[in-house]
């Protein structure tokens, strides 16, 4: 049970991190397009999509990246998994809308945003692993 709680906490943490990045992208879009361009403010909508994409990426990572440390994972593979997480959310949005929408525009956006966030996630994870102290340093 503790293992599942840890996985859920990790998925939520990745989702929140991605939500912050997508929220920032929504803020930039809001500044470019202007206020009142949508029913839901872009930053909030993008933040929700980022959270869902990050959570989907965590599930994909848990299934496909099992038993590998971050230093053993390649950046292109991680980016592919992130793109799959973004595309999974695009599929969810298409299901809710009832149509695929502008596939030629939205698929590269969701896939690209997922890939960029995944590479950033791997970079942060590798940096955290590098800063981690050895398990037994011999001093107490």
Q: What whole-number distance in Å separates Cα of residue 80 and Cα of residue 21?
A: 18
d(CA 90, CA 49): 9
The pLDDT score that the predictor gives to residue 31 is 83
| Residue 3 confidence (pLDDT) | 83
Residue pair 47/16 in contact (Cβ under 8 Å)? The answer is: no
Annotated domain spans of the chain: 2-131
Predicted confidence (pLDDT) per residue in 42-90, tens digit = 788 889 989 999 999 988 888 887 777 777 788 888 899 899 888 888 8
Secondary structure (DSSP) of 19-72:
HHHHHHHHHHHHHHH-TTSSSS-HHHHHHHHHHHHHHHHHHHHHHHSTT--GGG
State pTM to two decimals: 0.77
14-34 average pLDDT score: 87
The pair of structure tokens assigned to 94 is 């298409």
């Amino acid at each position: 049970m503790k293992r599942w709680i840890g996985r859920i906490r990790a998925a939520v943490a990745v989702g929140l991190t991605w939500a912050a990045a997508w929220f920032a992208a929504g803020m930039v879009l809001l500044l470019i397009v202007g206020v009142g361009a949508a029913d839901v403010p872009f930053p909030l909508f993008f933040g929700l999509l980022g959270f869902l994409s990050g959570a989907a990426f965590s599930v994909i990572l848990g299934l496909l990246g099992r038993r590998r440390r971050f230093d053993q994972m390649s950046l292109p593979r991680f980016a592919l998994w992130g793109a799959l997480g973004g595309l999974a959310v695009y599929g969810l949005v298409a299901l809710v809308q009832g149509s695929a929408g502008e596939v030629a525009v939205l698929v590269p956006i969701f896939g690209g945003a997922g890939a960029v966030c995944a590479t950033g996630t791997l970079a942060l994870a590798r940096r955290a692993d590098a800063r981690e102290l050895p398990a037994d340093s011999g001093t107490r």
